[in-house]
Structure 1
């Protein structure tokens, strides 16, 4: 189903927009910025949008701290992202430092390091480079791009080399 580009977007009253935006927030965690953009697309002015956002926050449908926690957990477990990448992405979404810290607390050290070692093992098995130094640099570059810290990467690489 495609949207007709010639058709103008429908403007909603605050009363019509509230149930729509509540369903939008209930479907998955959202940031305040995302909700503001959606309300703008509904044709609401800043005052009405602000009132709706306050109401959604009071009713716990919109919670940026909860969003940061879910985002950090999800991106780490499914995409294998490290702390640095997750922090950067959350910051780009306009979340407060408090929310960033809250999201980072979701990444438990043991699980985090195990995920790093798992990714390293998978990448090591696929890596075709035979020269030891070039191979190590490629593995480091991959894990750095994923957002892992250099000291943890070095530690995991040391463990990998010890086990060979």
Structure 2
């Protein structure tokens, strides 16, 4: 059984990865995984990653910032979930902190309250205690900090 996998020169791989990174910001780990899939040797991988960084195609801080903006604005994720996902992608704590600076505190709280109000309307639960529990579960799954979640729920249900 023969596997016909294309082999790439360093130049071809670099071109391919430039397109990959230009399409949307990528983390270094995503680029390394892509190079592994392309069966590139460690020396070539290192050379390509350095080139991508020098040419501005690969930038962890820019990746973290755009990731945070996207997940917060579009998916309405909280900081807890965003941090978990960035860690999974091999982003360091200082860079995660820089990324999180993209979220204004006032927008963050407003989004939490909007999510909570929207969800509260949909919960068909007569028991007030269970209703609060379902709302809390939803907001915690979205990645909001428990202290903020409980403050929000108390504000909305009292």
Using structure 1 for the length normalisation, give the TM-score: 0.91
Alpha-carbon distance in 2 for matches of 1:44, 1:113: 45
> Which of 113, 120, 123 in structure 2 is aligned with 1:117?
113
Residue 65, structure 1, aligned to residue 58, structure 2: no
Q: Are 2:102 and 1:142 equivalent residues in the alignment?
A: no
Does residue 85 in structure 1 map to residue 81 in structure 2? yes
Give unpaired runs (5+ residues) of structure 1.
Answer: 1-5
Residue segments in structure 2 that go unaligned for 5+ positions in a row: none
Q: Distance in 2 between matches of 1:73 and 1:15?
A: 33
Q: What is the root-mean-square deviation of aligned Cα atoms in Å?
A: 1.3
Runs (4+) of structure 1 exceeding 6 A deviation are none
1:76 matched to 2:75: no
Q: TM-score, normalised by structure 2?
A: 0.94
| Corresponding pairs, count | 157
Which whole-Å deviations, capped at 9, do the CAs of 1:100-143 have from their partners, x for residues lacking one?
11111111100001110111011001000011111111111111
**Secondary structure class of the residue paired with 2:74:** helix
Counterpart of 1:37?
Answer: 33
Is 2:150 aligned against 1:151? no
